[in-house]
A and B are shown apart, each in its own frame.
Chain A
Amino acid sequence: MASFGYTLLLIAVVVTAYTISMAVVGHHTRRPRLVVSAEFGVYALFGLLTSATFVLVYLFVTNDYSVKYVQHYSDRSMPLFYKVTALWGGQDGSLLFWVWVMSVWSAIAVVQNRDRNREIMPYTIVAMSVVCAYFLGLLVFICNPFETYLATAPTDGRGLNPLLQNPYMVSHPPTLYLGYIGWTIPFCFAIGALAHGKLDYAWIASMRRWCLVAWVCLSVGLALGGLWAYEELGWGGYWAWDPVENAALIPWFTGTAFIHSIQVQERRQMYKAWNMVLIILTFMLTLWGTMMTRSGIVQSVHAFAQSSIGEYFLIFISVVFVVSFGLLYVRRSQLAPENSLESVVSREFAFLANNWVLLAAAFFVTFATMFPSIFKWVKGEQINVGPSFFNIWMIPIGLILLFLTGVGPLLSWRKSTGATIREQFTIPGILAALTFGIFWFALGIEHPAAVITFALSVFVTSTILQEFYRGTRYRMKNAQEGPIDAFVTLLNRASRRYGGYIVHFGVVLMFVGFAGNAFKLEKEASVTRGHSVSIGRFDVRLDDLVFEDDGQKNMVTAKVSVFELGADQSKATPIATLEPAKWAYRKPEDQVTTEVAKLMSLRDDLYLVLGGYDAEVGTAALQLKVNPLVNIVWLGCAFLMFGLTIAIWPARQRATQPSPLRRLWPSIAGSGALLIGLMATVLAFI
């Protein structure tokens, strides 16, 4: 079966080569049938890689340890659930998964464009196939997931890393991959447009929705990763500026810049070359991030083992750089702007400023992530760049971005006059100033970054509410509609605009959650059975220590009762029982994981970790943390999904649906997304 899987990969290489050649020849000889044949090649690639992926899953579920990859990342005691997800648990399998997702996206892109963009599609198909061919080359020649043991095969596997044996293993990597690889499709359309010289609206129209889908997948993937780290790693936070986390965040910055900047091109025919630069950079940064994660260049708690594929990635990135920017240079005259920037107080400039800040963030994070490796290469010494270094720079950058989130939508295209600025900014400005005053002077909170965040959050929220209010009022007046009808119609008719505002609100919520870090409480205590320790408004009592074994691992669980202290810190009310634990897996040998216990609410989280124990005395070393507002971050993600669902809802359906119920579909779908997000948050509470 393993050799069959490898044969499928070999056929896939041949089909990809065929697709590339047919697309090129068909376009140059003006024979559409060859291009159609190339399109079938893309579908065939999807079919072949789907088959190969299922073959590998089959090898996992049948415990075929003659295959090295299966033996390295699974064992007989693992539940079926984790055997399937072990597909992306290691380097080789995750590369197969990468190229499979790419083939899925490519097939969808080709189906979508089978009747349009016929001029740029041949080059787009070539670009997509070249990316697939590169990853297939890695799989076939360097990281073959179907490689077998030459001698006797082991009778059992080594097992999956226990940190990966978590329900988030199902959702986090695929979502992140969907987002990461999703950016490849807009890049390929851009290359198609550059290669053909058809740099008008066609490629923008083709990839607009792709960008939003890629962006939301990447955002949700990042959030799920944060949630996973928060639950599994036991250090009490969700973002530690780990190189692997940063690898996904860096293209997110440039992608966010792109989806804002592209609007300027649509409305004002400006920033055409700049948009090309941004999409090329985004794709290159996804490759760069993949290289950082997989080459062993950077040290990380969840980077893949050191391998030789870094060099190949470097070569491919160089090729992409030369080809993309070479094409951009050749077509530079066609990318000249049709309008110029007339004022710095305009939406065009706000978007440009937003782009600069996001690019600054991307380059800072890239540099800081690579700095230890560069330092080691130059000086030969190993240093670490910790979260505090990132926070020094990223907090101001984040605050500027938050400010621009509020300012951008209120400015008009071309230029804003003093009167319009006064009209738009008076109420949000006053509310922000009041918030700052209340938090800083009245409440005496002396965390400048947190207080500024709260003030800016109020500013942005009020600008969003103001936009909704004025839009609704406009419709009520002009269409003689009631407020609810006007609001729903507003969401339906201008879904992209108002969906975007909801996304902005989600971002505001996330910033509020980030600001909660300033008020974090931490304590470590050794507690004997029957005794208690207090932190913030909580009192924690160790009731018992329980020792169990389920065949796969030894488990030590601390049974803990949590009480809420009254205002005078004396009267305690029992509110929950928690069970922080430590699990020692048999495979891989002596691998110990920390199972966190949490008491969650929107106000704060009580986060308990069992650091150690003394079974004879009955003592547990508990690490206690109170994380204020942390769950608002996840709520913000839910709003992000809700807003994006509204923003990307297909226009055609809305235009042809006359019934009032059907008009509500975007809102219903958006509410569904919000509900799913909220349910995920509630599940996380449990």
Chain B
Amino acid sequence: MHTRGKQGRFDRYLVTVEALIGIGVVTAILGSSYGPAPTVTFVFASVALAFTAFVLFKMVVSLRDPSLDVSGRFRDEERDRLEEEKRLLLQGIKEIEADAAIGKVDAHDYAHLRGTAERRALAIIHHLRALDERWMNEAKRQASRVVPSSTAAPSPRASAGTESAAAPSTRHALASAPPTSASVIEVRAESTSSAEPSAFASSVAGGRAAPAVLFDDRPITCKINQATKNDLICDGCQASSPLDARFCIGCGRPLRSPSDESKPDALEDR
């Protein structure tokens, strides 16, 4: 697949180069008769017309392409909006930190502004997490539809005799999954035989040995999720703060170790 992609790209480059050589030859022939300026203008106009014809063709063809209706649904606009707002809020927090560090904001205002932004950012992170779960459930539902019908009717031998053998392997698959396994789509065989994952995987992977994990497309919020599970505890007031916090939410003391402080990005604005 990868090789074919490379080959396709090479073919496109080849066609482009050939087209450019062709245009150059035509330009040279016309230029010798009509002069350079009219010829160059004429060639540019012709290239623009060729582009127009191609685009008009695509414009009409796209009307009859139902796959475009489907692909459009996979984009989660709500998620984009929240990610953008979160980005701006985190950027704002960094700016407030920088302003506080250079004495532009007093302590009270700093706490207020930072607290407000953090609360909002946390709310957004929670919302994003909920969206992720919803997306995952939908993806699982879609994946389960793809499972061949043969898996829905397991062989009597498998259902009768290998259930006890299947259970350990399933447990093993689940135990070896990363901690944020909510984001990982797995072939779960809790109520079916051990043969089912293989059958499903075979149908997907073309008969090769089936991995327990189909794909691991972990959303970014899982990292945040993981981070927020491991809060930092303030030495001063014992309050719990997120892992990426620099100052304690409770008393404002610095939380980071010197090694972490070697990579500050508080003044980053994007």
Contact = CB atoms under 8 A, between A and B. Distances in A.
A497 B269 contact: yes
Given A116-B75, A200-B81, A417 B38 contact: no
Interface string B59-95: 1101101101101110101001100110010001001
Contact of B72 (A37, A118, A200): A118
Contacts of A412: 99, 104-105, 109
Contacts of A413: 96, 99, 105, 109, 113
Interface string A46-59: 01101100110110
Nearest to A647: B269
A654 B268 CA distance: 11
A470 B270 CA distance: 20
Contacts of A474: 98, 101-102, 266-267
A669 interface: no
A58 B270 contact: no
A61 B39 CA distance: 10
Contacts of A651: 270
A420 B48 contact: no
Nearest to B54: A47
A116 B80 contact: yes
Given A417-B106, A479-B262, A493-B267, A54 B63 contact: no
A406 interface: no
A116 B41 CA distance: 36
B180 interface: no
Contact of B69 (A32, A47, A494, A496): A32
A33 B84 contact: no
Say what secondary structure dominates the interface of chain B. helix
B52 A51 contact: yes
Interface in A443-499: 467, 470-471, 473-475, 478-480, 490, 493-497
B49 interface: yes
B69 A495 contact: no
A44 B45 contact: no
Contacts of A80: 37
A545 to B, nearest CB: 37
A479 B106 contact: no
Contact of A37 (B62, B105, B267, B269): B62
B264 A43 contact: no
B103 interface: yes
B10 interface: no
Contacts of A478: 101, 261, 264, 266
Interface string A61-77: 11000000000000000
Contacts of A416: 104
Nearest to B66: A33
B85 A55 contact: no
A40 interface: yes
Contact of A202 (B44, B60, B84, B105): B84
B209 interface: no
B90 to A, nearest CB: 12
Given A37-B59, A202-B81, A424-B103, A471 B98 contact: yes
A205 B84 contact: yes
B2 interface: no
B205 interface: no
Nearest to A492: B268
A48 B267 CA distance: 46
B69 A33 contact: yes
Contact of B51 (A41, A47, A495, A496): A47
B229 interface: no
A606 B37 CA distance: 40
A571 interface: no
A44 B60 CA distance: 11
Interface in B29-59: 37-38, 41-42, 44-45, 48-49, 51-52, 55-56, 58-59
Contacts, number: 164
Interface residues of B, number: 55
Given A202-B84, A412-B105, A54 B45 contact: yes
A525 B188 CA distance: 98
A479 B41 contact: no
Given A33-B63, A58-B38, A478-B261, A494 B104 contact: no
B55 A44 contact: yes
Contacts of A267: 88, 92, 95
Nearest to B104: A412
A560 to B, nearest CB: 38
A23 to B, nearest CB: 12
B265 interface: yes
A50 to B, nearest CB: 4
Nearest to A417: B106
Contacts of B103: 420, 423-424, 470
A44 B52 CA distance: 5
A475 B109 CA distance: 22
Nearest to A107: B55
A176 to B, nearest CB: 23
A203 to B, nearest CB: 10
Given A267-B92, A490-B267, A33 B109 contact: no
B104 A410 contact: yes
Given A58-B42, A61-B41, A414-B109, A494 B267 contact: yes
Nearest to B50: A47
Contacts of B268: 493-494
Contacts of B44: 54
A419 B69 CA distance: 59
A677 B92 CA distance: 33
B95 to A, nearest CB: 8
A266 interface: yes
Contacts of A32: 68-69, 71-73
Given A80-B37, A420-B103, A41 B59 contact: yes
Given A37-B60, A44-B56, 5 more contacts: A43-B55, A118-B72, A413-B109, A424-B103, A495-B270
9 contacts: A15-B56, A31-B69, A54-B44, A58-B38, A202-B77, A202-B84, A412-B104, A474-B98, A494-B268
Interface of A: 15, 18, 31-37, 40-41, 43-44, 47-48, 50-51, 54-55, 57-58, 61-62, 80, 115-119, 198, 200-202, 205, 266-267, 410-417, 419-420, 423-424, 467, 470-471, 473-475, 478-480, 490, 493-497, 651, 654-655
> Top 7 closest A-B pairs, CB basis?
A47-B52, A32-B72, A40-B59, A54-B45, A651-B270, A33-B68, A470-B102
